[in-house]
Amino acid sequence: MSLLDSLVLGASVLILGTLSALIPSWTRAALWIQAAGVGACGAVAAVVFVAGGSVGSRFVNGVSPALGLDRLSAFFVLTVALTAVPALIFASRYLDGTPRRNAIAALSGAFVAALLLVLVARDVTTFLIGWELMTLLPAASMLVLRPDRPVRHAAFVYLTVTHLGGAGVWISLLVLSSHGALGNPAAGAALGGPIQALVTISAIVGFGTKAGLMPMHSWLPRAHPVAPAHISALMSGVMIKVALYGLIRVLFEWAPRSALWAALALILIGALSAIGGVLYALFQHELKRLLAFHSIENVGIITLGLGASLMFEASGQPTWASIAFAAALLHTLNHAAFKSLLFLGAGAIEKLAHGHEIDHLGGLLQTMPVTSVAFAIGSMAIAGLPPLNGFASEWLTLQALLHLAIDRAQAGWVGPLAASALAATAAMAVLCFVKVVGLALLGRPRHPNLEAAREAPYEMRAAQLFLAALCVGLGLAPGLLVPYLASIRTGAPAAAPRIVLVAPGTGGLPTLAIAVILGLLIVILVRARGARVAAPAPAWTCGQVVEPSLNWTSSAFTKPLRLGWELVLRPERDVTISTAHGVVQSARYRGQVPHLFDTVFYLPLIRQGARLGARARRLQSGSLRSYALYLVGLILALLAVVRLGWLG
Amino acid sequence: MNLTAVAVEVGQIALGVGVAPLLPGVVQWLKAKLQGRRGPSPLQPYRELRRLWGKSRFLPQPSTVVYQWAPSVVVAALASALMVLSVPGLPTASPIGHDAVLLVGLLALARFAIALTAWDTGSGFALMGAARDLMVAISVEALLILCLALAALPAGSTDLRAMEEAAAGGAIWLSPEHWCGLVAFALVAVAETGRQPIDNPDTHLELTMIHEGPLLEYAGRDLAYLQWAASARHWVILVLGAELFLPHAGPPVARLVELVGWMFVALAGLAVTETMVVKMRLLRIPVFLGTGAGIATIGIVSWFTVGRP
């Protein structure tokens, strides 16, 4: 049985699982079958990823369906599998007691199948079918879960924005395909400058919208929080990465005249998304919405790596081009691991502790220890702290950006500035996740609901622990993957994998040694300090009593930042104090940080669109005579065009 | 990995661990002299560490394992950062490499651990300090990366050993970006060591604390750990600054002597600044450090525009 057959077999099991979810009371079993199917696909992809080469069809420019797998696709299929297997197993218990859980389970399987279809598609039609399904199915799952008004609005915004932006995907792919440039770099290089520019810009807009890059991200923080947790994990962990997969195919393989301006655009958009994403994440009060903003940040970091790679390519420095490319892909996998872990954790917390407002959580380390530890590991990873996986890929990305200047790439001065933006992003992520971990897991419970919180069932814990182990494992030995990832770019056979991260002109990152040294030191220090403890007493806090009503909130913790960056953030604050006879009767406080992209960028756009729409409606007068006039006008115009020979 | 390199590495770790507490002691001593006070001896931090080591730890009531383990994590991160440093003119062999960017990660790890303890006890003053510390860290990390980039440009590498070698000699002082790096790094040093005008290490007013805030609840050996970590932060930043941005040349022994001399000058600089400048408003810190970022950016642009011999 060939590898492609095994892949098709795995996908068939996945589809079988999807169909069996429709049988009532089979939901759990169906999700397990789906997980087994995706797992099989992932195993095949792992083989192809390590062995290299290509399985099945190559890219074709016709319209007949073709499927295949090469190292790049295999890497993304592997990412899908590593995320989807725990997500589906998590869902098998997460959906307990959810209304219409059969439909959600079936949609989950179909969603994963659509993701895989995009990745193995080798012709433009199959790709676009998979692409549209991948967009539509999560929207369906949102509406099935909670068909109320806010969710309908979120789904509407999601579909509108991704479809308006997604037109770019159609344009770039259809133009490439019509010039026979899919999988044919020579034809891609032969395209004229204007056509290449059209393809590049529409690819950045189209795939960038789906990836949630700023300023095309408007849908992302709305759509992710309302989906079921495991679908959110898949959307954030994999779906936005599949968009980057398309961007990589077009920019790096099919339109291969590496233009400096495209690289600069990617670095600019990447830095904007990284900083903007984390900055707005800081001021979110809802856990899943906060995580959604962090997805924008991380996609920005990946885009920074891709931009650096393209810039090295444009300056003819293939070694660092491949390292920067590997950094971007490594961060793709790392982000898939920790972000899906965090979304699953948020789902578990929401289900079992009945809260998604961060300010109303607290003390979960006591009541949900396993979920909490996994969540804390994911938080440290996303904050880019050594020795976890987030640090490894951010280190490699930072090095790539610094080496833009050190190795004097064209326009390399942009490198250190982007690196500095990335460092600020990492520091803000630390601030954000100190807040999240502190408010959710530590301290005393901040809400009466939390008294009843209990640990998640076995399957949900196992899914989270698997992803947490993945975060640790990828942090200890990221170097095992890097040579394979770099070889995708160079096309040469992969160098021998090493545990440590090495790159020319750096001190190297011996990840395993760092973890061992840190671990050893911590254990020695904890032992050295002994066990002698004074009698327990309440926290001192300068003589005050720590009262629950005086607990610090998320807004309080971010206040220094809100004030320090007031010029950029434009926070709103509204304090109403009502007094009677000189005595304060009540005080009301309301504050928020408005999303400036919405108010400054999108609202005028929407208003203008509505105005144009109102104007266009005048054409639809309802009068038969005016329609007849339009028809006559159309025919006359067509005749004129034919007469002038514009149709060739 | 040869034996000399291992011996030098062990020596530099031992020196760093042993001498670090002297640095804040010297600043306090110099400051007292400048202000016409008698002041404590430079060895005062050692006495405090000994005193604290003899006392019991204290666990406030709502606290978890995070509170108990954080001091050890902070010290482990700082000790690892100490290992990453290079020794001027001599070969070193750190088990965790000598990459400059790793330092930034290790400092962030320490910051994360100590900030979490503030949430663990739920103490408002600790949280206030932690929130401010993390806010300042955003600008500091961005600026630190720019400084490291400026030092890495002439070296062609982010390996601290190569960066130190490239900063040696007199020729480098002819290029403007090195001066920009020096000025920008001075701001980083003030912020990272928690000195005025960013933070006031002598304050006893909880409302104004930044770095000291999250330490309020700690006692005994835990506090000893955290105080050593604060002085190790002085060591890491000042050694880094002296190696990358201050003049040094000659054989290894001369460079070591120069390093000691420059460390003393840097400490004196901190003491003079603390005497002359008052603590600035918290909200002005991003602007202050942003100025540094502007200077560093000028340096980077000049590297790409000014012709090189």
Alpha carbons A468 and A424: distance in angstroms, whole number: 25
Closest Cα in chain B to A519: B76
Q: What is the b/e burial string over B216-242, where b = at least 16 CB atoms within 10 angstroms of the residue's CB?
A: bbbbbbbbbbbbbbbbbbbbbbbbbbb
Report the pLDDT averaged over residues B173-196. Answer: 88
A contacts of B214 (beta carbons < 8 Å): none
Tell me what the mean pLDDT of segment A457-472 comes to. 91
Q: Check residue A401 and give its pLDDT.
A: 93
Does residue A285 carry a pLDDT above 90? no
Cβ distance B64 to A366 less than 8 Å, yes or no, reads yes
Mean pLDDT of all residues in A517-521:
93
CB pairs under 8 A between A and B: 279
- Whether A539 sits inside 8 A of B106 (CB atoms) is no
pLDDT of B127 above 80: yes
Q: Residue B142's closest chain A neighbor by CA?
A: A420
User: How far apart are the CA of B246 and the nearest CA of chain A, in angstroms?
Assistant: 21
C-alpha to C-alpha distance for A288 and A223, rounded to whole angstroms:
10
Highest mean pLDDT among B42-46, B196-200, B304-308: B42-46
* Cβ proximity of A311 and A411 under 8 Å: yes
The CA distance from B139 to B187, in Å, is: 11
Long-range contacts of A15-21 (CB under 8 A, 24+ apart): A15/A109, A15/A113, A17/A109, A18/A106, A18/A109, A18/A110, A18/A113, A19/A106, A21/A102, A21/A105, A21/A106, A21/A108, A21/A109
- Under the banding of pLDDT at 50, 70 and 90, the label for residue B307 is low
Residue A531: other Cβ atoms inside 10 A: 8
Burial of B207 (0-12, 13-18, 19+ CB in 10 A): exposed
Q: Which residue of A has its CA nearest to B298?
A: A413
Q: Which residues of B touch A532 (CB under 8 A)?
A: 56-57, 220
Q: What SS3 state is found at A294?
A: helix
Q: What's the gap in Å between the CA of B211 and the closest CA on chain A? A: 15
Asked if A426 lies within 8 A of B108 by C-beta distance, the reply is yes
Amino acid letter, residue A71: R
Instruction: Give the C-alpha separation, A179 to A158, whole Å.
Output: 32
Those residues whose C-beta lies under 8 Å from the C-beta of residue A431, and which sit 6 or more positions away, are: A282, A558, A561, B131, B134, B135, B137, B138
Contact A111, A83 (CB under 8 A): no
Asked whether the beta carbons of residue A508 and residue B156 sit closer than 8 angstroms, the reply is no
Higher pLDDT, A619 or A470: A470
Nearest to residue A291, comparing CAs of A221, A354, A383? A221
pLDDT at B309: 42
Check CB contact under 8 Å for B56 and A565: no
ipTM for this model: 0.94
Q: Which residue of A has its CA nearest to B122?
A: A443
What is the per-residue pLDDT across A546-557, written as a single tens digit (0 to 9) for each? 676 677 888 888
| Cα A349–chain centre separation | 21
Burial (CB < 10 A; 0-12, 13-18, 19+), residue A444, is middle
The length of chain B is 309
pLDDT at A641 over 80: yes
pLDDT single digits (tens) A206-243: 999 999 888 888 888 888 888 888 999 999 889 999 99
Mean pLDDT of chain B: 88
Tokens standing for residue B192: 């990272």
Residue A617, token pair as written in the block:
């409606």
Residue A263 near residue A307 (C-beta atoms within 8 A): yes
Between A360 and A475, residue with greater pLDDT:
A475
Q: Which two tokens stand for residue A645?
A: 């020979």
From the list A407, A247, A402, the residue with the least C-alpha distance to A318 is: A407
Share of chain B above pLDDT 70, in %: 99
Q: 3-class secondary structure for chain B?
A: CCHHHHHHHHHHHHHHHHHCCHHHHHHHHHHHHHCCCCCCCCCHHHHHHHHHHCCCECCECCCCHHHHHHHHHHHHHHHHHHHHCCCCCCCCCCCCCCEHHHHHHHHHHHHHHHHHHHHHHCCHHHHHHHHHHHHHHHHHHHHHHHHHHHHHHHHCCCEHHHHHHHCCCCHHHHCHHHHHHHHHHHHHHHHHCCCCCCCCCCCCCHHHCCCCHHHCCCCHHHHHHHHHHHHHHHHHHHHHHHHHHCCCCCCHHHHHHHHHHHHHHHHHHHHHHHHHCCCCCHHHHHHHHHHHHHHHHHHHHHHHHCCCC
Q: Which amino acid is located at B238 in the chain?
A: L
- The model's pLDDT over B192-203, given as tens digits with 9 standing for 90+, comes to 888 888 888 877
B223 chain-A contacts, CB cut-off 8 A: none
The string of pLDDT tens digits covering residues A296-333 is 999 999 999 999 999 998 888 888 999 999 999 999 99
pLDDT tens-digit readout, A571-603: 888 888 888 888 888 888 887 888 888 888 888
Q: Which two tokens stand for residue B122?
A: 């739920």
Set of chain A residues whose Cβ sits within 8 Å of the Cβ of B216: 540-542
**Does the pLDDT of residue A371 top 80, yes or no?**
yes
Residues of A in contact with B57 (CB under 8 A): 529-530, 532-534
The CA R_g of chain B, rounded to the nearest whole Å, is 19
Q: Do B77 and B103 touch, CB atoms closer than 8 A? A: no
Burial, B248: exposed, middle or buried (Cβ in 10 Å; 0-12, 13-18, 19+)?
buried
Q: Which residues of A touch B83 (CB under 8 A)?
A: 517
What one-letter code names the amino acid at B284? Answer: R
**Confidence category of residue A539, pLDDT binned at 50, 70, 90:** confident
Average pLDDT for residues A86-107, to the nearest whole number? 88
Instruction: List, in sequence order, every beta strand (DSSP E) within A360-426.
Output: none
Percentage of chain A lying above the pLDDT 90 cut: 36
Whether A168 contacts A206, CB under 8 Å: yes
Q: Can you tell me the distance from the alpha carbon of A391 to that of A334, in angstroms, rounded to the nearest whole number?
A: 10
Cβ-based contacts of A529 with chain B (< 8 Å): 57, 71-72, 221-222, 225
User: Would the CB atoms of A538 and B60 count as touching at under 8 Å?
Assistant: yes
| Nearest Cα residue to A214 out of A135, A292, A116 | A292
B286 to each of A283, B201, B229, how far by Cα in Å? 18, 19, 25
- Look at the block and give the residue holding tokens 């930034």: B104
Report pLDDT for B184: 93
Q: Which of B99, B121, B138, B243 to mutate to test the interface with A (most CBs of A within 10 A)?
A: B138
Q: In the predicted model, what is the mean pLDDT of residues A96-103?
A: 84
Higher pLDDT, A189 or A285: A285
* pLDDT for the residue numbered A257: 65
Best to test chain A binding among B134, B136, B305 (most A CBs inside 10 Å): B134
Tokens standing for residue A509: 């990152």
Q: Is A136 exposed, middle or buried (0-12, 13-18, 19+ CB in 10 A)?
A: middle
Interface contact flag, B121 A539, Cβ < 8 Å? yes
Give tens-digit pLDDT for A10-30.
Answer: 888 888 888 888 888 888 888
Is the CB of residue A309 less than 8 Å from the CB of residue A328? yes
Select the residue from A278, A506, A569 to test the B interface by mutation, using most B Cβ atoms within 10 A: A506
Provide the β-strand partners of residue A583. Answer: A580
**Length of chain A, in residues:** 648
pLDDT at A432: 93
Least confident piece of the model among A386-395, B153-162, B200-209, B293-302: B200-209
Give the per-residue pLDDT at A586.
Answer: 86
B216: nearest Cα among B207, B203, B229, B206: B206
List CB contacts (< 8 A) between B123 and chain A: 539-541, 546
Interface test with A, best of B85, B109, B125, B199 (most A CBs within 10 A): B109
Taking contacts as CB-CB distances below 8 angstroms, the residues of chain A near B80 are: 514, 517-518, 521
Average pLDDT, chain A: 87
Secondary-structure breakdown of chain A: helix, strand, coil percentages, each rounded to the nearest 5: 70, 5, 25
Sequence-distant (≥ 6) Cβ neighbours of residue B83 within 8 angstroms:
A517, B9, B13, B94, B95, B96
Contact between chains at A417 and B297 (C-beta distance less than 8 A): yes
Check whether A192 has a pLDDT greater than 80: no
Report which of A273, A299, A282, A281 is spatially closest to residue A214, judged by C-alpha positions. Answer: A273
Q: Return the residue in A557, A558, A563 with the most chain B beta carbons within 10 A, the one to mutate for interface testing.
A: A557
Distance from CA of B44 to the nearest CA of A (A): 21
Distance from the Cα of A431 to chain B's closest Cα (Å) equals 6
Pairing outcome for strands A68-70 and A572-580: unpaired
- pLDDT for res A1: 66
- Residue with the larger pLDDT of the pair A102 and A62: A102
**Cβ–Cβ under 8 Å, residues A597 and A276:** yes
Question: Any bridge partners for residue A587, and if so which?
Answer: A577
Q: Which of A147-156, A342-351, A485-494, B103-112 bottoms out in mean pLDDT, i.e. has the lowest?
A: A485-494
CB contact under 8 A, A521 and B119: no
d(CA B107, CA A478): 21
Q: How far apart are CA A540 and CA A145, in angstroms?
A: 46
CB contact under 8 A, B66 and A426: no
pLDDT tens digits for range A618-632: 888 778 888 999 999
Angle among Cα A615, A620, A626 to the nearest 5 degrees reads 120
Distances (CA, A) of A376 to A440, A639, B72: 10, 69, 18
**Chain mean position to CA A166:** 17
CA–CA distance, B179 with B170 (Å, rounded to integer): 12
DSSP output for A407-447: TT-TTTTHHHHHHHHHHHHHHHHHHHHHHHHHHHHSSS--S
Whether pLDDT at B113 is above 50: yes
